[in-house]
Amino acid sequence: MTLILNAVAAFLLLTLLIALIRIWRGPAPADRMLASQLFGTTGVALLLLLAHAQAMPALMDVALTLAVLSVLAIVAFVTRVVRIDRPSSGRKAGDQPETHHD
């Protein structure tokens, strides 16, 4: 099983690298930010596989952190690079960003 897990992990790493080459070519900054999303899914899958293949349960915590951080990277990008916080098209004064509370 360990061998199979390692093989699958290697394959996922390959798809991740190929995708990164595509993302590196851009051209728009938003295209490049897809890398963060890529790490949020492929990276998490890769780390979960390695946690079992290498018998290192701590890698599962790394996977969780990566998933959470990938969103923060996007939030930072969206507010700083694209400047979405600045109203661009006549938005209403009472308009507020969607917030989550349960």
Partner 1 sequence: MIETTVFAMQVLLLVMGCLFFAVGTLGLFRFSDTLSRIHALTKVDNLGLGFIVLALLPLAPSLAGGLKTVLIWAAALAASATSAHLIARAVHVRPEPPEAKESADD
Partner 2 sequence: MQPASPVVTFVLRGAALFVVWWALTLGEVSGLGFGAVVAVLVAWLSLRLFPPSGFRLRPLGLLLFFGYFLSRSVVAGLDVARRLLSPALPVHPGEIILTLRLPEGSPRWLLANTLSLMPGTLSALLEGDQLTLHCLDTRDPVERDVRETERQVGRVFGLTFDHARGAAL
Q: Which positions touch partner 1 (CB under 8 A)?
A: 1, 4-5, 8, 11-12, 15-16, 18-19, 22-23, 26, 28-31, 33-34, 36-38, 40-42, 44-45, 48-49, 52, 57, 60, 63-64, 67-68, 70-71, 74-75, 77-78, 81-84, 88-89
**C-alpha to C-alpha distance for 77 and 81, rounded to whole angstroms:** 5
The type of residue at 48 is L
- Residue 74 touches which of partner 2, partner 1, none (CB < 5 to 8 A by kind)? partner 1
**C-alpha to C-alpha distance for 68 and 29, rounded to whole angstroms:** 21
Distance of CA 16 to the CA centre of its chain: 11
The type of residue at 14 is L
Contact call for residue 91 and partner 2 (CB under 8 A): yes
- Residue 62 touches which of partner 2, partner 1, none (CB < 5 to 8 A by kind)? none
**C-alpha to C-alpha distance for 53 and 1, rounded to whole angstroms:** 8
Within positions 49 to 68, which residues make up the interface with partner 2, using CB under 8 A?
57, 61, 64
